[in-house]
């Protein structure tokens, strides 16, 4: 059985209990060495085989999972954050389906959640934004034209931009083209929840320079929007005069 496990954003105690148990009982672990905290591997039992997928092709990963000598073995495929976000898991699942190998998925804490925690921020504030857009700039992987940054920016919603720290000048230009202003708050979170985490609170207009000055060029998320500002409405749910299914509000 193959378990796709979300390793969490970085800190080794931000994996789920289930994910940690899968690691502890695994006969083989294939981990995304570029971003998964290697400290998680110290939970593996002795004799567990360890493979670093950063140095492997899709076919090599699948060959490890489907090797006849591992039939019946417990195999963990450890992905950074949650595997549903830029995890390249679908293609693995389809090859496992074709090979008749069973698998399941254990969710993880995505880095965008880790970043919100590090920022001590709430992405969805009443009166500010009720939508979070998770996206990226195109790199060697293209992005569909309809999802180009400036068209997503037109919503003025909270945006979390993955995989784009090397292109902040262009990102900033497109965000402004789409409707944010130079002064819209932005925060760059480098290695959220890792011991060497860095947070840069900046603006859409200045974020490229801020990252350059701090020497941040990868492993970061860019968060954008007025959720980082000081103004918002209080929630209805906890408003003393608001009646809910569970509570009668004061007149």
**Considering only residues 36, 153, 167, 189, which one is a binding residue for ligand SAH as defined by CB under 6 A?**
189
Which residues, in sequence order, are bridge partners of residue 192? none
The alpha carbon of 17 is separated from its chain's Cα centroid by a whole number of angstroms, namely: 19
Residues 208-237 that bind ligand SAH (CB under 6 A): 219-221
Number of residues that bind ligand SAH (CB under 6 A): 24
- Interactions with ligand SAH, residue window 15-74 (CB under 6 A): 35
Distance, CA of 43 to CA of 20 (rounded, Å):
8
Nearest distance from residue 14's CB to ligand SAH, in Å?
A: 9
Residue nearest to ligand SAH (CB): 81
- C-alpha pair distances (Å), 107 with each of 1, 67, 143: 16, 25, 25
Which stretch, 56-64, 137-145, 191-199, 201-209, contacts ligand SAH (CB under 6 A)? 191-199
10 scored as a contact of ligand SAH (CB under 6 A): yes
User: CA–CA separation, 93 vs 108, rounded Å?
Assistant: 17
User: Could you tell me the smallest distance in angstroms from the CB atom of residue 217 to ligand SAH?
Assistant: 11
Region from 61-69, 111-119, 223-231, 243-251 binding ligand SAH, contact rule CB under 6 A: 111-119
The answer to whether the CB of 224 falls within 8 A of the CB of 132 is no
Of these, 128, 133, 192, 200, which contacts ligand SAH (CB under 6 A)? 192
Residue 162 CB, shortest distance to ligand SAH, in Å, is 4
Strand pairing of 75-79 and 28-31? Answer: parallel
- Separation of alpha carbons 251 and 2, rounded Å: 56
Q: Is 103 in the site for ligand SAH (CB under 6 A)?
A: no
Chain positions contacting ligand SAH, by CB under 6 A: 9-10, 35, 79-82, 85-87, 110-111, 114-115, 162-163, 189, 191-194, 219-221
């Amino acid at each position: 059985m193959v378990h796709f496990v979300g390793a969490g954003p970085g800190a080794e105690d931000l994996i789920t209990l289930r994910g940690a148990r899968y690691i502890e009982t695994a006969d083989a672990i294939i981990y995304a060495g570029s971003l998964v905290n290697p400290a998680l591997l110290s939970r593996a039992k002795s004799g567990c085989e360890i493979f670093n997928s950063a140095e492997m092709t899709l076919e090599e990963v699948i060959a490890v999972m489907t090797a006849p000598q591992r039939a019946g073995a417990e195999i963990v495929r450890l992905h950074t954050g949650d595997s549903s976000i830029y995890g390249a898991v679908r293609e693995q699942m389809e090859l496992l389906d074709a090979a008749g190998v069973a698998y399941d998925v254990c969710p993880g804490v995505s880095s965008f959640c880790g970043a919100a925690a590090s920022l001590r921020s709430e992405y969805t504030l009443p009166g500010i934004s009720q939508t979070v857009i998770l996206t990226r700039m195109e790199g060697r992987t293209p992005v569909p034209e309809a999802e180009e940054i400036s068209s997503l920016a037109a919503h003025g919603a909270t945006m979390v931009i993955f995989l784009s720290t090397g292109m902040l000048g262009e990102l900033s230009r497109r965000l402004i083209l789409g409707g944010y202003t130079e002064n819209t708050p932005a925060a760059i979170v480098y290695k959220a929840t890792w011991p060497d985490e860095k947070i840069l609170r900046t603006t859409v207009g200045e974020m490229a320079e801020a990252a350059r000055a701090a020497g941040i060029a990868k492993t970061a998320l860019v968060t954008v929007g007025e959720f980082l500002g000081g103004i918002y409405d209080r929630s209805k749910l906890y408003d003393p005069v608001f009646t809910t299914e569970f509570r009668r509000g004061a007149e």
